[in-house]
Amino acid sequence: MSENAKILKTAAIGALTVSEEDLKLINQYALEPPEADDVFLFKLSVCSNAQDIDRDNEPFMLRAVKELSKHLEGKTIILDHDPSAKNQIARIYATQLIDYNEKTEVDEPLTSLEAHCYMVKTDTNADLIAEIKAGIKKEVSVGFSTSEMKCSICGKRFFTCAHFKGRIYDGKVCRAQIKDCTDAYEVSFVAVPCQVNAGTVKSANADEDNNSEDELLVRTRIRIYNHFKEAE
């Protein structure tokens, strides 16, 4: 079955100081290596595999977090989901998996994903950088695909069983677990957050009768709280 999921997540934005290691990673994508003063760095806390904090009951599993980490490397950050060259404002030059030395309720190592991003400072983006610092630009949407979204109650592909997200069955909350990530497509600053009742819905072209095994396109809306501060 083909499904289109919109998942509301929360994340934090923070500043990064420019290190030699950062410049080496950035230079993988630059034709002419920039100097430290030429770039503005920031990080996005994208997701984790915590099962009990996702407001839409659509948690990532560890495999999905790790695979999303790989697919996000090198992806550009754009404005308003408009993939034109003029709207390219930043690039993800590295990702980092953080292990908290804890276990999730499904006995996986609790792990979060950070994306490290860079912008080249120019006269034209000075206002944008200031808006990121001030928390004006704080909504980010990440699009990726997954081929497996499973019901936490019965283990079947979600939407094919009789269980509903958020309902409790024999004392357990039903969740649509994102099992893998097959690709990442875009990261976009947007002006308007996802709809209040955002959640996983069928796509317009979902073949409900034939249950075709198309990949699931996931839109992840990340609300970036204003936790910006200069790195110490």
The amino acid sitting at 228 is F
Instruction: Identify whether the C-beta of residue 143 lies closer than 8 Å to the C-beta of residue 220.
Output: yes
DSSP 3-state of 186: strand
Instruction: Identify whether the C-beta of residue 202 lies closer than 8 Å to the C-beta of residue 176.
Output: no
pLDDT for the residue numbered 207:
40
**134-155 burial by CB neighbour count: b if 16+ within 10 A, else e?**
eeebbebbbbbbbebbbbbbee
The amino acid sitting at 160 is T
The residue behind tokens 């290190």 is 19
**Residue 13 CA: distances (Å) to CA of 33, 116, 159:** 25, 10, 34
Q: pTM for the full model?
A: 0.76
Residue-by-residue DSSP string for 132-188: HHHTSS-EEEEEEEES-EEETTT-SBTTSSS--TT-EETTEE--EEE----EEEEEE
The amino acid sitting at 49 is N
| Distance of alpha carbon 68 from alpha carbon 22, whole angstroms | 20
Instruction: Identify whether the C-beta of residue 54 lies closer than 8 Å to the C-beta of residue 175.
Output: yes
> How confident is the chain (232 residues) per 10-residue block, as mean pLDDT?
39 70 91 91 86 80 95 89 80 94 94 91 93 81 84 92 93 93 82 36 35 49 37 34
| Distance of alpha carbon 114 from alpha carbon 106, whole angstroms | 22
| Distance of alpha carbon 112 from alpha carbon 184, whole angstroms | 17
Phi and psi at residue 216, in whole multiples of 5°?
A: -90, 120
pLDDT for the residue numbered 186:
77
pLDDT for the residue numbered 192:
53
pLDDT for the residue numbered 2:
37
Consecutive H or E run containing 62: helix 62-72
